[in-house]
Structure formats: C-alpha cells, structure tokens
Structure 1
Amino acid sequence: MINIRPFASLGHADHGWLDARHHFSFANYHDPSRMGWGRIRVWNDDKIAGKSGFPPHPHRDMEIVTYVRTGAITHQDSLGNKGRTGAGDVQVMSAGSGVVHAEYNLEDEDTTLFQIWIETDRPNASPGWGAMPFPREARDGAFQLLASGEPGDGALTINADARIMGATLKGGSRIELEADPARHLYLVPSAPVRINGVAAGARDGVAITGEASLTIEGDEDAELVLVNAR
C-alpha cells in the first residue's frame, strides 16, 4: 500500500515566526485518520524565521529527530548540551525520563527543517542528545543511514526500532530500496517523484506498508527523507 498525503492537505499553523505543516495530528490540528504511522507520531515541516525559535519547553519518553533542510538550528537543553546543526545534517534527542530544551534559529535567514517524533521503546530511560554532519554528496543515488536504534552502526542512536535515512535523487534516475512489508515507511520528497509508479508531489507525505521493495524515480533533482519504523 502506498498512500499519498498531499502537501496541501496537511495541517497548517502560521505563528508569524513559525510556519508549520503537520503530517499528523499535532497541537491544534486534529485529524483522527492521521494520528501517526506505526510508531511515527509526528512529522512537522517547519519554517522558522531568523532570530527566533522555540523557547525552553519539556518533553519525556519520545525520540525526536531534527533534519535541517536549509539554514541551521541551535539546540540547548537542561542536560548542558548545546550545538548548531546545519543544512543536510541531523540531531536527535531522546527525551526519556524528562528534559527541557530550546531550539533557536540564530541565523539571519529562515531555517527549514523536519521535526520527526518516534515513540520510544525505552520509557523512562536517561535522556540524551546528539548531532552529526551528513554531507549530501555521500548520499547521491542511494539512501544513507542517519539515525537508528542500533548502536555502533555509524549513525546517530535513538531508543526506538526505527531507521531514519536520507538520499539525493538526480533527475532522470532512480533509487531502489528493499523493504519489509510488515514495517511502516514514511517518505517526504523535495520534488515530484514516483514510488513504485505512484506519483507524489513536492513535500507530500508518502505512507507505505506491505511493500517488499521500492523504486523511486523522478524527472527533477530531489532530496528524500525516509523513516522506516515498526
């Protein structure tokens, strides 16, 4: 099953400093048919104005992955962690038993990012944060693992049975990926693509399950972000 969730159908909230699109029910946006996808609970497509951001606020028992598309985000938390994550790179926060964090765009220009929440497999674990650079050229024509629940795989570690991956697709080419039909995959492309022949537009959500393999092709260059979860 490949289900397209058009960008125009996503939840929308414009707070001035934050222009957010919600793939799943979040805050004041509620759609009973979009409460999550497997263990994926939140996928927000955010644009954050320069010199603004999310002030300190708490979380617990959630794996929060931030994929920066353009600009940069600066993180700080109650554990003493602080770091700047730039375009194409990823940060993860395991909220665990509880953490207070802030995310600021300290740049002069807008920052765009995906914030993805995945239900934890380890409630009340010790909280943590991490970030890594992932040069886009390293994922030309193939998916690169960015974060997963498997320590030691060279990616960022989260406390969930999930894999977060990114790829860059050249126009006129294709990427093939094996899949487990029992898993829940969610893909967001930056430009129109076809997934096993099913057309998706730029920044549409693509909910996938029951597929043993994926062939992703497009006529334009596209950046792909994919989460594979239980």
Structure 2
Amino acid sequence: MIHVQPFSRLGRFTNDWLNARHHFSFGSYHDPRRMGVGGLRVWNDDEIAPGTGFDPHPHRDMEIITYVRDGAITHRDNLGNEGRTEAGDIQVMHAGTGIVHAEYNLERTPTRLFQIWIMPNRQGVAPGWGTKRFPRQGAGLALLASGRESDKTADALPLHADAALYAGTLKAGETVRYALGAGRVAYLVPASGRVTVNEVAAGTRDGVAVAGEPFVDLVADEEAEIVLVDVAE
C-alpha cells in the first residue's frame, strides 16, 4: 500500500511567528483518518520566524526528533542542555519521565524544520537530549537516529523506540531501494524535489506512507532531499 498525502491537504496552523503544517492530527487539527503510522504519531512541517520560537513547555514519554531543513534551531531544557542544530542535522529529545524545553530561532532568517514524534518502546526512561552533525557527502540514505537492536553499533543518535530515521539528497535520476521488514511501515517526505515511490509520484513536502511492501523503491525525478522513518506497525 502506497498512500500520498499532498502538502496542500495537510493540517494547518499559522500565527504571527509560526507557519505550521501537520501530516497527522495535532493541536487544533484533528482528522480521525490521520492519527499516525505505526508508532509514528506526529510529523510537523514548521517555519519559525527569526527571533521567535517555542517557549518552555513540558513533555513526557515521547521520542522527539527535529530535522532542520533551513537555518538553525537553539535548544534549552531544564536538565541544563543547550545547543544549536543547523540545517541538514538533527536533534533527538527523550521526554521520558518528564522534560521542560524551549526551541528558538536565534538566526536572522526563518528556520524550517520537521518535528517528528515517535512512541517509545518503554515508559519512564531518563529524559535527555542530543544533537549531531552528519556528513552530507555520499549517495543514498544515511541512518541518523535509531532504536533498533540491529543498529546499536551504528553511528547514529539513539532512540528509545523501535524506529529509525534516514535522510539523504538524491541526484536527478538516482534510485535507491530500501528494504522494509515484515511488520514495519515507512513514512517519507521529500523536503525538496519530486520523487517516485514504488511507481507513485510525490512532490515537495508531500507525505508518503508505505505498508505491506517488501521494498521502498525511490527514484528522484529531480534532485530531492528525502527524510524517511521506518517504524514498527
């Protein structure tokens, strides 16, 4: 099954500093048909105005990944963590038993990012946060974060979830085959560019759910930046 959710049909929230699109039900946007894919519960497409951001607020028992597409985001939390994550890199926050954090765009230009929430595979873990820079060279999709047993030795940020996040930029005409194991689903978004997924077309910032397929075959119809989450059903 391949299902494409066009960007034009995503949920929407806009105020004087935030322009957000919601792939799944979130906040004031609720669609009973859009409640997530497997353990993936939130995929927000946010644009944050310069000098603004999310003031301190709490979370618990959730794995939260921020993939920065343009600009940078500065994180602060009640554990004393503080750091800046630039475009192309990610940060991972383990909400666990509880964390209070803020996310600010301290840049002179808008920051654009994907905010991805995944259900943890166990409750009550110690809260934490980390960020990491990844090389942008190389073909295909790179593993950036994972909680799968098979990835424990990989150079990726850890997750307390049976899930993995991949990203990469494909050149026009480049193809990638990603093996999707039994009992797993994938959700991917072209941050830029157009792609074909198992012979189904998807445009910039569309969401593509893949289930019941042994492989995800990606073809870049033009240069495309891809973000993909592999998660247990």
CA contact (8 A) 2:65 2:90 kept: yes
CA contact (8 A) 2:196 2:221 kept: no
Distance in 1 between residues matched to 2:59 and 2:215, nearest whole Å: 35
Distance in 1 between residues matched to 2:117 and 2:80, nearest whole Å: 22
Match runs of 1:46-61 below 5 Å: 46-61=46-61
Please give the secondary structure, in 1, of the residue aligned with 2:172. Answer: coil
CA deviation vs aligned residue, 1:64-104 (integer Å, no higher than 9, x gap): 00000010000000100000000000000000000000000
Residue equivalent to 1:180: 181
Deviating runs (4+, > 6 A) in structure 1?
none
TM-score (ref. length: structure 2): 0.96
Q: Percent identity?
A: 57
Residue equivalent to 1:81: 81
CA contact (8 A) 1:40 1:119 kept: yes
Please give the secondary structure, in 2, of the residue aligned with 1:141. Answer: coil
Structure 1: state its 5+ residue gaps: none
Structure 2: state its 5+ residue gaps: none
Shift of 1:194: 0.3
> Counterpart of 1:229 in structure 2: which amino acid?
V
Residue equivalent to 2:108: 108
Residue equivalent to 2:207: 205
> Counterpart of 1:164 in structure 2: which amino acid?
L
Distance in 2 between residues matched to 1:181 and 1:224, nearest whole Å: 22
Match runs of 1:143-222 below 5 Å: 143-150=141-148, 151-189=152-190, 190-222=192-224
Match runs of 1:14-163 below 5 Å: 14-137=14-137, 140-150=138-148, 151-163=152-164
CA contact (8 A) 2:64 2:116 kept: yes
- Greater shift in the superposed pair: 66-75 or 120-129: 120-129
Distance in 2 between residues matched to 1:26 and 1:50, nearest whole Å: 24
TM-score (ref. length: structure 1): 0.97
Shift of 1:177: 1.3
Aligned residues: 228
Please give the secondary structure, in 2, of the residue aligned with 1:45. Answer: strand
CA contact (8 A) 1:180 1:210 kept: no
> Counterpart of 2:87 in structure 1: which amino acid?
A
